Amino acid sequence: MRARPDARRGSLPSPHNVKPMDFRRYAAAIAAFATALYLAMLIAALGVLSLLLERDVIDDPDAGAFAGPVACAVATAVVFTGLLVRALRRPVDRRGRDRGHEVAIGTALLLALGSYVGYAAGAGIVVGVSNPYRFLPFLVEQLIGPFAAAAGILSLVVVLLEMIVLASRREQRGRPRWPWEKRDD
């Protein structure tokens, strides 16, 4: 019979003694990667939409050069904040047992709405700084345009994917393992 490696010598922890903070770290890392994915997809989608529609993402000459990056930054901040808060929260049932993360469509829709409005509001704030009377018309123009809608739709997709990844690790504890590491020898 082979002796099991000691936890103090760098062996893998058993699934039963993993601390909740380990999963929170994993969930926070997934939230950061999902946010980076969202930002990359948002920039790509805005570029493709701009080419297909043959119009600028921010086509108001009063907006300046910072309206687009600020809009993307605000939408990304909304997604990251929502994912990080959800990652650091530890869901428990009425008896105090760990429930694990589940796919919450309402939360995903709320974050999609937040990034949709955040994109338009971020660009609107930049315009509103130079001319406060242009804030509301510019905000409405952005909300009915395709670019803010793309920010919301991509947010919904990325947040749902992140939730599916976290929910798939519900029964597992510890770090992800390759199939050959899961064998009990």
Contacts of 162 (CB under 8 A, 6+ apart): 30, 31, 34, 83
The number of domains in the chain is 1
Answer yes or no: is 107 within a domain. Answer: yes
Residue 1 located in a structural domain? no
Instruction: Say what the pLDDT of residue 92 is.
Output: 64
Residue 150 in domain: yes
Per-position pLDDT tens, the chain of length 185: 454 454 444 444 444 444 556 778 888 999 999 999 999 999 999 999 999 999 999 988 878 889 999 999 999 999 999 999 988 886 666 676 666 678 889 999 999 999 999 999 999 999 999 889 999 999 999 999 999 999 999 999 999 999 998 888 766 555 666 777 766 64
Other beta carbons within 10 Å of 121 = 21
Structural domain of residue 156, as residue ranges?
19-90+100-174
> pTM score > 0.85 for this model?
no
Instruction: Identify the three-state secondary structure at position 8.
Output: helix
Using a 10 angstrom Cβ sphere, with 0-12 exposed, 13-18 middle and 19 or more buried, the burial of residue 81 is middle
pLDDT score of 9: 47
**Tell me, what amino acid is at 49?**
L
Which residue in the block uniquely carries the two structure tokens 């429930």?
99
Is 183 part of any domain? no
Look at residue 56 and tell me if it is in a domain: yes
Q: pLDDT value at position 141?
A: 93
Please state, in angstroms and rounded to a whole number, the distance separating the CA atoms of residues 145 and 3.
64
- Would residue 179 count as lying in a domain? no
